[in-house]
Chain A
Amino acid sequence: MSRQVRILTRVLSSFLMTTSASDSPSLTPNSTNKTEPDRVPQFNLPDEPLVVIEPKKSWSAVGVHDFWVYRELLYFLTLRDIKVRYKQTLLGVLWVLLQPLLTTVVFTIFLGLLIRVPSEGTPYVLFVYVGLLPWTFFSAAVISSSNSLVNNAHLITKVYFPRSLIPVSAVIGRLLDLAIAFLVLVCLMAYYHVAVTWAILLLPVLVALMTLLAVGLGMVTSAMNVKYRDVGVLIPVLLQLLMYASPVVYPASLVPARWQRLYGLNPLVGLLGSFRSAALGAQIDWSALAWSGATTAVLLVGAAFLFRRMEAHFADFV
């Protein structure tokens, strides 16, 4: 099982480029492998201090630079989350497949067969799975991310590193689940003879956007959760509502015309809708996607500033 995880992780991390190509992404490198020494003996003190610790003065944002400097830590935190998640469950990786599959079965029976929700010409099973696949990723990512700082309190109070690594690694860890569950989609598409179009190349872009959106939300909610534990309870409830406010189990066209404008404010409408269209070869609503991209960018920048503002006090509250 852990071998599987390792292989999948390797594939995933090379896809994400969280580690440079020369570092083989494995938690168990060959210990006898001698490389050039990292430590250069330093006999002269630098003229300028390496680090100056001062009170935080002005607003600043979490820098992308941090993620590069601490890429190894980001990688190990992600790997830890993944390993621990699969080690502690009986079925391990199977859960990643079972969860969307079971929900697919439930929705297919109730919405597809009984209520007969329109599914834009595709079989409802495929229609709902292609919606639930990115949704399950998004919702799991936001939930793990929002709890991540609290769950890593022991790290926050004992050692310094950019705090933003924690909610971000929680989101990245869920990408592996998505990749595994994606294999089921491939099987379903093959079974129903869905014609693959060039639009499928858009899927990685959409996954990247959803990851960024989850990172933005995760950073805000995890920071708030440190101070107010209610947030951790509230998030799953809000996500449940958000699922029904997004085109997961029904097509966006089902929403009445006069509500469409309000409905379209939800960035997930564009993302999930485009994901489905790209996978099934339907027409992509570019304006909705542009809106999703713009709101994601705004949210991400806002989250970066807010997070930096709040992170100074994490250790005092957590």
Chain B
Amino acid sequence: MNRAIIKVEHLSKLYRLGATHNVHPTLREGLVGAFKAAFRRQNNGNNSKNKNIVWALKDVSFEVSRGEVIGIIGRNGAGKSTLLKILSRITDPTVGRIALYGRVGSLLEVGTGFHPELTGRENIFLNGVIMGMKRRELARKFDEIVAFADIHRFIDTPVKRYSSGMYVRLAFAVAAHLEPEILIVDEVLAVGDEIFQKKCLGKMATIANEGRTVLFVSHNMPAVINLCPRVILLDSGVVAQDGKASEVVSHYLHTGGAKLAHREWPNISTAPGDDVVRLRSISVIDEIEQVCQSIDIRKKVGIRFEYDVLEPGHRLVPTFNIAMESGAVVFWAGDRDPNWENTPRPKGRYTTIAWIPGNFLNAGTMILSVTISKVRPTHEHLYEQGVLSFEVLDRMGVDTARGNFHGHFAGAVRPLLPWQTQFVPKDEGSVEIDSTP
């Protein structure tokens, strides 16, 4: 009944590493390069050619029906961004073809083209027109946009004086009023506070309900599962899986193998964080502090952060949350180590472990997100969503909450509670019974 609104056929994109690594070559280097290339071709033909090329996408084909909301997931470098860039016509494919049967609006970031010197009002029009809206359309929706962003009083203030929250709200408000038939969204929900993120997710759900087609690229697995019935998993430039969201996401988290219980960033300049603090590794560990993909439900689980403080004097708090596959957050926790709480930290390498007690989490796949924030003043230095996943293995027996029960064990947590029962035999008689009126 639904014809395809997007048809992607055998799409491939080739990048030459020489060109992408050296982002701004000089004219001299360009000339030398051209000379060398010509020389090389004469000497040894194709031999050295293959080293410098990378297929960011290889023979990717899929179709999207009208009104579908599709999540696109995959590790960094899997080709997600390249696919988005080609779909949004920012860069051309090397091979293949995409046919689009509707107007495309792409939201690779919010606030594209915002200029700090211009006022909120001016930026609404500039940004809207850049994203493909008509001026008349913008004039009509202007009040609605301002109301959504909740910035009435500051509409004629240059946006450079806005708080970061106001800036993001305004930017998203414009984007949210884009009304293309196909909407391409990339990670825009990674910005803003939690309330605003909820508002954004709600808006996206509305867009989807209106029968528009949405392609949603994200690392935020809970959001992907909530929003997208169908998910495409990209791996090294090819479509690894395409199917029901919950299946594809859990496949994605499982196939990471042991790697997903531990991640590290050997290169400090690309590690998550900023000039104050950078996360160097994050691991899920067992009671003997070994990296561990699957944990016995009875045993305690440690979350180990390794991070470098690069600028002294900040009161830093590592925090994390555990979410279930459904996306529901089981809990949040922040570092309460009395030695460091509210204490400005000197420069250096820190290792922080938080222990989650055994017999507490329910069985299943758990998804870990971590942050390192600062208090007084509050600032989030890094936020790695869905950075790791691990498995809590179900057990039966006397030392489990399950005991000998065989069935489905519902709940966000599965604590082994101390149960107590007091017993008074009936025929011995009891004072309490008589005392009741």
Enumerate chain B residues within 8 angstroms of A155, measured Cβ to Cβ: 112-113, 130
Task: Tell me if B135 counts as interface (CB < 8 A to partner A).
Answer: yes
**B90 contacts A52, C-beta separation under 8 Å:** no
**A227 contacts B122, C-beta separation under 8 Å:** no
The residue from B15, B24, B130, B142 contacting A31, defined by CB atoms under 8 A apart: B142
Task: Tell me if A240 counts as interface (CB < 8 A to partner B).
Answer: no
Residue of B nearest to A313 (CB): B91
A214 to B97, CA, bound (A): 36
Interface residues on A, range: 35 or more
Of A34-42, A116-124, A189-197, the one contacting chain B is: A34-42
A313 to B93, CA, bound (A): 11
Residue of A nearest to B109 (CB): A158
**Min CB gap B389→A, angstroms:** 30
A239 to B435, CA, bound (A): 107
**A80 contacts B90, C-beta separation under 8 Å:** no
The residue from A37, A52, A317 contacting B19, defined by CB atoms under 8 A apart: A317
Residues of B within 8 A of A (CB-CB), count: 60
Enumerate chain B residues within 8 angstroms of A231, measured Cβ to Cβ: 27
**A53 contacts B129, C-beta separation under 8 Å:** no
**A230 contacts B27, C-beta separation under 8 Å:** yes
A283 to B150, CA, bound (A): 63
**B27 contacts A158, C-beta separation under 8 Å:** no
Task: Tell me if A242 counts as interface (CB < 8 A to partner B).
Answer: no
**B129 contacts A73, C-beta separation under 8 Å:** yes
Given A45-B5, A83-B118, check contact A52 B97 (CB 8 Å): yes
**A312 contacts B91, C-beta separation under 8 Å:** yes
Task: Tell me if A256 counts as interface (CB < 8 A to partner B).
Answer: no
Enumerate chain B residues within 8 angstroms of A30, measured Cβ to Cβ: 139
Task: Tell me if B136 counts as interface (CB < 8 A to partner A).
Answer: yes
**A87 contacts B117, C-beta separation under 8 Å:** yes
Enumerate chain A residues within 8 angstroms of B181, measured Cβ to Cβ: 42
**Min CB gap A220→B, angstroms:** 14
A184 to B415, CA, bound (A): 84
The residue from B19, B106, B118, B121 contacting A159, defined by CB atoms under 8 A apart: B106
A160 to B101, CA, bound (A): 17
**B136 contacts A35, C-beta separation under 8 Å:** yes
**A76 contacts B126, C-beta separation under 8 Å:** yes
The residue from B91, B143, B179 contacting A316, defined by CB atoms under 8 A apart: B91
A55 to B7, CA, bound (A): 15
**A161 contacts B130, C-beta separation under 8 Å:** yes
The residue from B19, B30, B93, B108 contacting A228, defined by CB atoms under 8 A apart: B30
Enumerate chain A residues within 8 angstroms of B143, measured Cβ to Cβ: 31-32
A38 to B23, CA, bound (A): 41
Residue of A nearest to B26 (CB): A230
Of B80-88, B193-201, B221-229, the one contacting chain A is: B80-88
Residue of B nearest to A226 (CB): B24
Of A21-29, A95-103, A170-178, A270-278, the one contacting chain B is: A21-29
Enumerate chain B residues within 8 angstroms of A45, measured Cβ to Cβ: 3, 5, 66, 101-102
Given A51-B104, A53-B86, A83-B122, check contact A35 B27 (CB 8 Å): no
Task: Tell me if B37 counts as interface (CB < 8 A to partner A).
Answer: no
**Most interface-central of B85, B113, B179 (chain A CB within 10 A):** B113
What mask results when residues 284 to 318 of chain A are scored 1 for a CB within 8 Å of chain B, else 0? 00000000000000000000000000001101110
**A76 contacts B130, C-beta separation under 8 Å:** yes
A312 to B86, CA, bound (A): 11
A129 to B31, CA, bound (A): 41
**A56 contacts B125, C-beta separation under 8 Å:** no
A52 to B87, CA, bound (A): 10
**A83 contacts B117, C-beta separation under 8 Å:** yes
Task: Tell me if B376 counts as interface (CB < 8 A to partner A).
Answer: no
What mask results when residues 58 to 88 of chain A are scored 1 for a CB within 8 Å of chain B, else 0? 0000000000000011001000100110011
Enumerate chain A residues within 8 angstroms of B135, measured Cβ to Cβ: 23, 29, 72
Question: What are some 18 contacts across the A-B interface (CB < 8 A)?
Answer: A23-B136, A27-B121, A29-B139, A31-B142, A49-B100, A51-B89, A51-B98, A51-B100, A53-B99, A55-B94, A72-B135, A159-B90, A159-B130, A160-B90, A161-B132, A228-B27, A230-B26, A312-B92
Which residues does B use to contact A, with CB under 8 Å?
A: 3, 5, 7, 15, 19-20, 23-28, 30, 66, 85-104, 106, 108-109, 112-113, 115, 117-118, 121-122, 125-126, 129-132, 134-137, 139-140, 142-143, 179, 181
Which residues does A use to contact B, with CB under 8 Å?
A: 23, 27-35, 37-39, 42, 45-46, 49-56, 72-73, 76, 80, 83-84, 87-88, 154-161, 227-231, 312-313, 315-317
The 10 closest A-B pairs by CB, nearest first: A31-B142, A49-B99, A160-B89, A53-B98, A228-B27, A230-B27, A51-B100, A29-B139, A158-B112, A315-B91
Q: A31-B139, A155-B112 are in contact. List 8 more A-B contacts (CB 8 A).
A: A30-B139, A35-B136, A51-B89, A53-B87, A53-B89, A72-B129, A159-B131, A316-B20
